[in-house]
Amino acid sequence: MSTPDSVPVWLAHLVDDAAIFPPGNAPLERAVAEHAAHLAAGYAGLVGPFVVSDVKLPDLVAVATADDPLGVSVVVTGGAGAIEPAVRWATRAPELELRALELALRDEEDLAHNARRVITALDALEAELDGVTACVEPPRVHGEPSAGWLTALDELAAREIPLKFRTGGVSADAFPTSTELAACIDAALDRELPFKCTAGLHNAVRHDDPETGFRHHGFLNVLLATRATLDGENPVVVLDDTDPVASLKEVGDDALARTRRWFTSFGSCSVLEPHHDLVELGLLGGQS
């Protein structure tokens, strides 16, 4: 089963276009033009919204057009108080179509209290956020999840607010271990919360970057680890697999598509790298 442009359903809109974020750091105008090119390509079904920080919204409005509104996921860079201004900007600009909102909990002692503040801010914008997915990023676990971290997730689960997990960055210590990432996936699924990932996940398969030496997770590994967790199997083994294609075929397209209900997408500073990997692995045709 495939989308109209021959992208399998289990890969549909998997890659959120975060071209302006590190390490890509594409200039905004160029990133918008390249996003339009992705959406006109044969692999368009792979591509999710354009990811932009709230501080760049005025600049984005200046380069987008009202004739063809740009679907965006807005990253709120401040605390709960920054949510309303970001939503107002994104929903009142005819050049933009707000599809998602991404928020981070400040890493403070009472994390559950921070979660409740975010929830209160989102509740106050219920009408403006109709049809918009808001996901919340808890702080890194750095080992086993703490009681406070889990309580914060309970608060979010009570309102069915999806999660966002950071899977890398620009330094080696920004990358969670497989055990840590597996614990995050398990905590999300235990609360029936979908999640997206961000940073360091632009390649399909787990690997060591030859230039930096950083050990990257693969987005196919994350998808399969999500499936393994749902099936009561060990996700750490799956996250560590450097050749997961055989496992993909064993799981099958239908089960992978169902798994996407939970692992919804990941942000990547490159759309072409994930596309290239999928073509190289024989999982996508070489659409241009």
pLDDT tens-place string over residues 245-280: 999 999 999 999 999 999 999 999 999 999 999 999
pLDDT tens-place string over residues 136-192: 999 999 889 999 999 999 999 999 999 999 999 989 899 999 999 999 999 999 999
- The CA distances from residue 38 to 3, 21, 96, 202, in Å, are 15, 17, 17, 16
Mean pLDDT over each residue of the chain, to the nearest integer? 95
pLDDT at 205 over 90: yes
Instruction: Identify residue 258 by its one-letter amino acid code.
Output: R
Do the Cβ atoms of 64 and 96 come closer than 8 Å? yes
Give pTM, 2 decimals.
Answer: 0.95
Per-position b or e across 234-272, b if 16+ CB within 10 A of its CB: ebbebbbbeebeebbeebeeeebeebbebbbbbbbbbbe
All domains of the chain, ordered by start, with CATH?
9-280 (3.20.20.70)
pLDDT tens-place string over residues 73-115: 999 999 999 999 999 999 999 999 999 999 999 988 999 999 9
Measured in degrees and rounded to the nearest 5, phi and psi for residue 71 equal: -75, 125
pLDDT at 1 over 60: no
